[in-house]
A and B are shown apart, each in its own frame.
Chain A
């Protein structure tokens, strides 16, 4: 018998190798001449950063509760263009956005499914390569926090992006729907969607950003092939601008979803984010708000409704550097089965951010014995004249409430659903299209039905 000496690569080496492998795949995809030189500069910077990094492990404080080890053994290939018929979109289709929609499949723009005919003149919505965005260089890939590993990876491979450009003093009533689908093939694929929203001075718009599997059913329960989405969205609000951002993540249940939303808010701007997570085997959303002027208002609503062995991780950070900022955050998690919900909410109040009024609340509902939640609401405060509070609660359905509903003649299953619906409803009601809220509500009900 021949004995083989086999040296097992250390876990750390594997993490470095995996990242380099992913980076190598995107390195070939550059070369779009329409990408501005400043972006090319950010790209080479991102590549340089990545050469020193690795896929994070649970030893990194930022990834302490979310283990990416399962990602390492999957041989992801960069997804190419896929033929997707119009029916693939059926689930994501909303009547309200039929003519204000951009569809990307595998990170690649699909003009056949997109239409922006319903938007007022002057508003530019399109993909990066097609549109004419003169000032884009000062926005795309210029947001802070770009050195984070997955964000850098997305920037390194940036080839196209969904761009929403709202000129000064323009108010768009119609929500703009950005749909990012992944058509998973026989082998595991990965894609890197990118979006950029620039709301100029005094403008207002509503963005619905949605991630899903092409051909998946609405509930995303149906198994499709494993895939990875690494998305980055940058949002810029100029003075007095208002952006309402609904973010729906309902990827297939064996997908990985890692994403970053970076928002910069100038003086007196108002940003509202309602992020709903129901899909993916493992999802992570980094939401970062950088305050760039005084008197900003930031409203962050979050909901994760997960079951089976799903992991949903939401990391939010609000960095306040100017006075009179207002932050209202409510993040809710519903975990059933073996699901694991993670929430880490940071609010940094720098010395200059006097008279900040920030409140943060995280509420968690555990529906099964095996479900678990890790939460860390975190405040770091230097300014002394501020009002900041945070809170976290973890509990199950109250037996008294269940009893009350049953005493009114509802069966246990209906009572349970009613209570869960009520818990989720507080966030879903914030979505800009009620039909979307209703769909997600059904999705969560089905997810937590036992």
Chain B
């Protein structure tokens, strides 16, 4: 590895600062009392307490999953702060001007300006800081179209019937260990409701920020797309650098009714720990979309570059006939990062189709696994799946694994799976070098070509961002 290359690899994590802000934090630990306390703090209706307690009891009876190809010391759940919120002067904010300027500055520093003048013109943002949502932009404009975009704690108060109907309908409280934990103590997240026939006029986006060193972030996102509607939703995340590990156990639920389409994109850049693997976020996330209606479509696009450990399988349950599930993923691991990620495509309805494109890049001493399930149920006549998962290894200490599970119970189903593992070819680098392109540029070019199938699925601004992020993270690890 050349010296310039090394410098580039050790690029500092520029989102690693801590915001000094007074916060309202509950003592660490997890018990039924804590669950009640969170419920009380958020002043939620009765049904939420039932929901949380049910989940908590289920969680107690569960054991932490250990099948993923990741290693980490046992997590002491009694040391995690389940709720931490920046102190607000007023209980209810009327406008953005009342938000603590320190918070606004924090988000500005992260490149997410919340104030009116500086906003991205066509993206509505919900900003979540530790356990609470700080602000949601463009609410009025969206309300004109009938689109509801707010934090989930507001939704619980303002649209309890929708929340009650859909919360936990895709990811049940007892779905898995982390989902149960999230259901018990989740604090905030985004809520989106697109009414019948509405094509959401702008991109919706949520930005998650963990600030507190001991806290866990348990956010919950619920998106409901009514008949014939369309929405594109983006998620971004960063955290400060700490020597300790923070737990992030989120749940995302998507529901697409007849002819609806949801496009969900994630650019995940949590703090990944230092080069020795110290610190970083444990990102244990359950994401699932339900294609409930006929001709509905859910498309997941993810660019995973951060986190010490990623455990994440955005899935599609294809119930409606002719429904479509898509999964496009780029997972990059460097240094001591570990990622066990992939998708599940459960074909239940007739003529359901799914596509999986997964690109894994592992550098340093990292471990990158693709784990995917394609299941064609007995009634899924004419179901089709195409999967492709390619891995690229950079350096001879990195690992790439693929664990594709394919279960077919219908002879009309057609499943194709392809995978390959390779490194960047010497001859390809030589060719580019011969054309006067530096080794760094050549590698970055090769990688962006490798990931092109996925990046082309991202909204424009984010595709550029993702491409840049990836080259920053990787530059120099080849040489």
Q: Indicate whether B14 reaches chain A with its CB closer than 8 angstroms.
A: no
Q: Indicate whether A386 reaches chain B with its CB closer than 8 angstroms.
A: yes
Q: Which of B67, B376, B395 has the most CB of A within 10 A?
A: B376
A384 and B393 in contact, given A367-B411, A393-B415, A396-B411 (Cβ under 8 angstroms): yes
Q: Give the complex CA separation of A204 and B157 in angstroms.
A: 78
Whether B404 contacts A382 by the Cβ 8 Å rule is no
A389 and B406 in contact, given A369-B411, A382-B399 (Cβ under 8 angstroms): no
Whether A392 contacts B404 by the Cβ 8 Å rule is yes
Whether A383 contacts B419 by the Cβ 8 Å rule is no
Return chain B residues, CB-CB under 8 Å to A384. Answer: 393-396, 398, 423
Mask: chain B, 369-412; 1 = CB below 8 Å from A; 0 = not: 00000001010000000000001011111111111111111111
Q: Indicate whether A70 reaches chain B with its CB closer than 8 angstroms.
A: no
Q: Indicate whether B468 reaches chain A with its CB closer than 8 angstroms.
A: no
Whether B393 contacts A377 by the Cβ 8 Å rule is no
Shortest distance from the beta carbon of A373 to any chain B beta carbon, whole Å: 5
Return chain A residues, CB-CB under 8 Å to B399. Answer: 380-382
Mask: chain A, 364-408; 1 = CB below 8 Å from B; 0 = not: 101111111111111111111111111111111000000000000
The contact of A378 among B67, B401, B416, by CB within 8 Å, is B401
Chain B's interface size range is 35 or more
Closest to B363 in A: A384
Whether B413 contacts A379 by the Cβ 8 Å rule is no
Whether B397 contacts A351 by the Cβ 8 Å rule is yes
Q: Give the complex CA separation of A391 and B420 in angstroms.
A: 9
Whether B417 contacts A377 by the Cβ 8 Å rule is yes
Q: Give the complex CA separation of A316 and B409 in angstroms.
A: 23
Closest to A396 in B: B411
Return chain B residues, CB-CB under 8 Å to A354. Answer: 396
Q: Give the complex CA separation of A377 and B67 in angstroms.
A: 17
Return chain A residues, CB-CB under 8 Å to B394. Answer: 384
Q: Indicate whether A52 reaches chain B with its CB closer than 8 angstroms.
A: no
The contact of B404 among A364, A377, A383, by CB within 8 Å, is A377
Return chain A residues, CB-CB under 8 Å to B4. Answer: none
Mask: chain B, 404-446; 1 = CB below 8 Å from A; 0 = not: 1111111111111111111100000000000000000000000
A379 and B378 in contact, given A393-B417, A396-B411 (Cβ under 8 angstroms): no
Q: Give the complex CA separation of A372 and B67 in angstroms.
A: 24
Return chain A residues, CB-CB under 8 Å to B405. Answer: 374-376
Q: Give the complex CA separation of A364 and B393 in angstroms.
A: 30
Whether A378 contacts B406 by the Cβ 8 Å rule is no
Q: Indicate whether A95 reaches chain B with its CB closer than 8 angstroms.
A: no
Return chain A residues, CB-CB under 8 Å to B418. Answer: 389-391
Q: Give the complex CA separation of A386 and B403 in angstroms.
A: 18
Whether A373 contacts B406 by the Cβ 8 Å rule is yes
The contact of A369 among B404, B410, B414, B420, by CB within 8 Å, is B410
Shortest distance from the beta carbon of A121 to any chain B beta carbon, whole Å: 48
Closest to B415 in A: A394
Return chain A residues, CB-CB under 8 Å to B398. Answer: 382, 384
Whether B408 contacts A386 by the Cβ 8 Å rule is no
Shortest distance from the beta carbon of B412 to any chain A beta carbon, whole Å: 6
Q: Indicate whether A73 reaches chain B with its CB closer than 8 angstroms.
A: no
Whether B409 contacts A372 by the Cβ 8 Å rule is yes
A378 and B417 in contact, given A366-B411, A368-B411, A385-B396 (Cβ under 8 angstroms): no
Return chain A residues, CB-CB under 8 Å to B417. Answer: 377, 390-393
Q: Indicate whether A61 reaches chain B with its CB closer than 8 angstroms.
A: yes
Whether A380 contacts B401 by the Cβ 8 Å rule is yes
Shortest distance from the beta carbon of A448 to any chain B beta carbon, whole Å: 12
Q: Give the complex CA separation of A392 and B405 in angstroms.
A: 10
Closest to A380 in B: B401
Whether A378 contacts B403 by the Cβ 8 Å rule is yes
Closest to B394 in A: A384
Closest to B376 in A: A394
Whether B408 contacts A364 by the Cβ 8 Å rule is yes
Closest to B392 in A: A384
Q: Give the complex CA separation of A373 and B413 in angstroms.
A: 11
A394 and B408 in contact, given A369-B378, A379-B402, A380-B401 (Cβ under 8 angstroms): yes
Whether B407 contacts A373 by the Cβ 8 Å rule is yes
Shortest distance from the beta carbon of B326 to any chain A beta carbon, whole Å: 19
Return chain B residues, CB-CB under 8 Å to A385. Answer: 396, 423
Closest to B373 in A: A376
The contact of B421 among A364, A372, A389, by CB within 8 Å, is A389
Shortest distance from the beta carbon of B429 to any chain A beta carbon, whole Å: 13
Q: Which of B376, B396, B423 has the most CB of A within 10 A?
A: B396
Q: Give the complex CA separation of A373 and B376 in angstroms.
A: 10
The contact of B413 among A381, A392, A394, by CB within 8 Å, is A394
Closest to A358 in B: B421
Q: Give the complex CA separation of A136 and B70 in angstroms.
A: 41
Whether A389 contacts B397 by the Cβ 8 Å rule is no
Closest to B407 in A: A374
Return chain B residues, CB-CB under 8 Å to A371. Answer: 411
Whether B420 contacts A388 by the Cβ 8 Å rule is yes
Whether A391 contacts B419 by the Cβ 8 Å rule is yes
Return chain A residues, CB-CB under 8 Å to B410. Answer: 366, 369
Whether A376 contacts B415 by the Cβ 8 Å rule is no
Whether B402 contacts A378 by the Cβ 8 Å rule is yes
Whether B378 contacts A376 by the Cβ 8 Å rule is no
A381 and B415 in contact, given A61-B67, A369-B378, A375-B406 (Cβ under 8 angstroms): no
Q: Give the complex CA separation of A354 and B396 in angstroms.
A: 9
Q: Give the complex CA separation of A371 and B413 in angstroms.
A: 12
Whether A382 contacts B408 by the Cβ 8 Å rule is no
Q: Which of A364, A384, A387, A396 has the most CB of B within 10 A?
A: A384
11 contacts between A and B (CB under 8 A): A61-B67, A371-B411, A372-B408, A376-B406, A382-B396, A384-B394, A386-B421, A391-B419, A392-B417, A393-B415, A393-B417
A residues contacting B by CB (< 8 A) are 61, 351, 354, 364, 366-396
A369-B378, A394-B414 given; 8 more Cβ-contact pairs under 8 Å: A351-B397, A372-B409, A376-B404, A380-B400, A386-B422, A388-B421, A393-B417, A394-B408
Closest 3 CB pairs of A and B: A366-B411, A384-B393, A392-B417
